[in-house]
Amino acid sequence: MNRAETVSAGPKKPAILCLHGGGTSAMIFNFQMMRLRRELDSTFDFVFIDAPFESKPGPNVLPVFEDCGPFYVWVDVGQNEGVTPPETRDLLQRTMENQIKTTGMPFVGVLGFSQGTKIAAGLLQQQEWDVAAENLQGVTNGARQATDLKFGVFLMGAPPPLAPRLPVSQMAQKISIPSVHVVGLQDSIAEWTRSLCADHFEQDSVSLLELNAGHHLPDGQHQMDTAKIAKAILDIWAHA
């Protein structure tokens, strides 16, 4: 059964959906996000979910999280990596609907790390396309009723966005929802992260941070980097 972990203290706050990297899990990402959550937990709740497909451990998972399996990916081995699998699409829809049922509020933001950024960007892209289609046709898309994302956060990400239902003809549409993009200058996929930002997002709505880091969130020795990411998130939320 797929696991979901909610991090909350006190009354319900605006919630961010958190999507882990490939070959990890909700539990591991919850731990990896600990320092950033401390900076933001007075403002947001955080919801972590497992991707639907079990996998081998991803990069930098072993040996620290060797006993923390199972591990998951958003696109299964052998599947078309340019298409959102139906299992992933259905999981996201259930998660968003459940968020409204349990709290009365949709997610205000989505945050992804590594492979999770493809899914996070796809959610923003799908929402914008659905809104545009509704405005044109004057008909509300039932699948979008649980979606009202105000911003996205992309940590060491990679293209392309994987939108749940977006027609192929619309894949080139750039995302204008405000977003924070974090590049690790020592990360082997740093250029992919820049490509996700430059090729798929309107630049006037982007906040780009370049940190002297590898393919991981800032650790305890780089608390200033954590503070920079937190400030960028709070800034876009203040203007959402």
Average pLDDT value for residue range 159-178:
82
What tens digit of pLDDT does each residue of 199-222 get? 999 999 999 999 999 999 998 778
Q: Catalytic pick from 130, 215, 216, 225?
A: 215
Q: Where are the alpha helices (DSSP H) in the chain?
A: 26-32, 34-40, 86-103, 115-137, 190-200, 223-238
CA 69 to mean position of chain CA atoms: 21
Q: Is 155 helix (H, G, I), strand (E, B) or coil?
A: strand
Average pLDDT value for residue range 33-41:
97
Average pLDDT value for residue range 62-69:
88
In 3D space, the residue among 9, 10, 79 whose CA is nearest the CA of residue 51 turns out to be 79
For residue 62, pLDDT over 70 is answered with yes
Average pLDDT value for residue range 32-49:
97
Q: How far is CA 116 from CA 103, 155, 177, 239, in A?
A: 24, 9, 18, 25
Catalytic, 41? Answer no
The angle subtended at Cα 209 by Cα 208 and Cα 212, nearest 5°, is: 150
The model's pTM is 0.92
Structure tokens at 18: 């958190």
Which residues make Cβ contacts (< 8 Å) with residue 81, sequence separation at least 6?
75
Catalytic, 205? Answer no
What is the predicted pLDDT for the residue at 209?
Answer: 97
Give the Cβ contact number of residue 203 at 10 Å: 10
What tens digit of pLDDT does each residue of 79-92 get? 766 788 999 999 99
For residue 52, pLDDT over 80 is answered with yes
For residue 151, pLDDT over 90 is answered with yes
Most distant CA pair in the chain, distance = 53
Residue 173 domain boundaries: 4-238
Catalytic, 215? Answer yes
Give percent of the chain above pLDDT 90: 72
Structure tokens at 3: 């696991």
**Model confidence band, residue 77 (pLDDT cutoffs 50, 70, 90):** confident
DSSP 123-137: HHHHHHHHHHHHHHH
What is the predicted pLDDT for the residue at 165?
Answer: 84
Looking up residue 9, the CATH number of its domain turns out to be 3.40.50.1820
What is the predicted pLDDT for the residue at 5?
Answer: 62
Which phi and psi (to 5°) does residue 6 adopt?
Answer: -110, 135
| Total of domains in the chain | 1
For residue 195, pLDDT over 90 is answered with yes
How does 16-38 read in b/e, with b if 16+ C-beta sit within 10 Å?
Answer: bbbbbbbbbbbbbbbebbebbbe
Average pLDDT value for residue range 89-103:
95
**Model confidence band, residue 133 (pLDDT cutoffs 50, 70, 90):** confident
Q: Catalytic pick from 25, 114, 179, 207?
A: 114
Q: Catalytic pick from 45, 187, 200, 216?
A: 187
